[in-house]
Structure 1
Amino acid sequence: MTVTEAINARRSVHSYDTSKSISDKELRELIELSTLAPSSFNLNHWRFITVRSDDGKKRLHAASFDQKHILDASAVLIVLGKIDAHEDVEKFTGDWVNKGYYADEKHLKIVTSKFYGLNPTVQRDEAIRSTSIMIGMMMLAAKERGLDTSAIIGFKPDEVVEAFNIPSNYLPVMLLTVGHELTPPPERVIRLNYDEIVYEETFPVD
């Protein structure tokens, strides 16, 4: 399956075959491939809680407005963004320098400190931005592997945090159901056309 084919085939699935499961190997390969996604300063803001047990799904279901596909999917990923990911920069500085991206580690530490260090809004926004890019790639990677997904923002963050012991420096960005489609969704809802969403050079002024 090509990338174009995966994009065209991907749908938000709400009806999953409960008789099918996803193996540890499948889930690991999906996550490892998807996390080749770009992130700001390569800080890898994403973290995952994998939920496959009935008990875990029930807790997540209760915190997600009782959406049934959370119970029926083979797995649900609680995708977190690490708000203070810039504090992990030393894990990557040596590799950045060795591969020629930066001249020295000190410079990279200064750059990330200035960009993130004193701005909680930037820290939170980038945790969401970088993690969301990865989620988009994950949905396509899943489709290429014969798996179906649905990205969910309809949940109560505080309840998810409490139910799954999530530390305060991690932000629940999205839930992602993963499994095998049972009933195909209706025809895809229309998208805005090219001329409605693209402006040449500058935003138009009335």
Structure 2
Amino acid sequence: MSNTQTTNTIEQQTFFDVIRERRSVRTYDPSVQISREEMNEILEQATLAPSSSNLQPWRFLVIDTPELKQKLLPIAFNQQQVVDASAVIAVLGDVESYKKAEKIYGQAVESGFMPEDTAKSFIERTVGTYSSLPPEVARQIVYTDGGLISMQLMLVARARGYDTVPMGGYDKTKFVEAFGISEQYESVMLIAIGKAMKPGHPTTRLPIEDVAFFNEMPSV
């Protein structure tokens, strides 16, 4: 086996360990804090996730002060991880992310990934398409991309030794009101992040033949 093959095998095993070890943790060590610098690194690595037309509509509101976590607690139906975790990351979807198309494709030109005339064409087409989408379609796109970034964020956290739990159980109306979230943003989910005080419960999965089908769906 070549050195490259050996390295790839080690990396692959490490990646699968991350997948296996990620669990939804609800009991956190409240003494553990994640620095702003490391939090930014975690989020930056998470943003390597794919998105529709690479518009990267995810936005993160990181709630890490005791006062604001207490404010969030009743909105999240008094789930204790809200206050005990190092932070709660609110994953938001920007339905006006097309407004950053010029910056995004401009970066691609500067990095040598795309000719300038191609980028200009992409910008015009992207802005024209996304700015005219029906609201429900725009929301669906940011929810899809928000799900992709959320999973990537949780895997990045596990790879760095942190634990997470995705939270859909909160009052979204009260959340956007309490934290001043404008209508430009859709609240996708909350993710608590920190160090587990108690491991997440092991869970099972359906056998693959119950969920995967080739070429045609089974008859009901």
Shorter-chain TM-score: which interval?
A: over 0.9
- Specify the SS of the correspondent of 1:185: coil
TM-score by length of 2: 0.86
**Structure 2 gaps, min length 5:** 1-12
Q: Structure 1 residue 19: deviation in Å? A: 1.5
Partner of 2:8: none
The answer to whether the Cα contact below 8 Å between 1:3 and 1:140 also exists between their aligned partners in 2 is no
Match of 1:164 among 179, 185, 210: 179
Q: Structure 1 residue 108: deviation in Å? A: 4.0
Partner of 2:137: 122
CA distance in 2, matches of 1:164, 1:57: 11
The answer to whether the Cα contact below 8 Å between 1:15 and 1:181 also exists between their aligned partners in 2 is yes
Deviations 1:76-114 (A, max 9, x none): 111111012123222223344552377241344224522
The answer to whether the Cα contact below 8 Å between 1:41 and 1:112 also exists between their aligned partners in 2 is no
Partner of 2:101: 89
Q: Structure 1 residue 115: deviation in Å? A: 5.1
The answer to whether 1:75 aligns with 2:90 is no
Q: Percent identity?
A: 33
TM-score by length of 1: 0.92
CA distance in 1, matches of 2:21, 2:106: 40
The answer to whether the Cα contact below 8 Å between 1:54 and 1:71 also exists between their aligned partners in 2 is yes
The answer to whether 1:7 aligns with 2:7 is no
Partner of 1:18: 30
Partner of 1:195: 209
CA distance in 2, matches of 1:196, 1:100: 43
Partner of 1:37: 49
CA distance in 2, matches of 1:54, 1:11: 25
| Between structures 1 and 2, the one with greater helix share | 2
Residues 177-192 of structure 1: pairs in structure 2 closer than 5 A: 177-186=192-201, 188-192=202-206
What amino acid does structure 2 have at the position aligned with 1:9?
E
What amino acid does structure 2 have at the position aligned with 1:126?
I
Q: Structure 1 residue 155: deviation in Å? A: 0.6
Q: Structure 1 residue 38: deviation in Å? A: 0.9
CA RMSD of aligned residues (A): 1.8
Q: Structure 1 residue 132: deviation in Å? A: 1.1
Residues 113-152 of structure 1: pairs in structure 2 closer than 5 A: 113-114=128-129, 117-152=132-167
CA distance in 1, matches of 2:74, 2:163: 22
Residues 47-86 of structure 1: pairs in structure 2 closer than 5 A: 47-86=59-98
Count of residues in Structure 1 that have an aligned counterpart in Structure 2 = 205
CA 54–104 in structure 1, closer or farther in 2 if over 3 Å, else same? closer
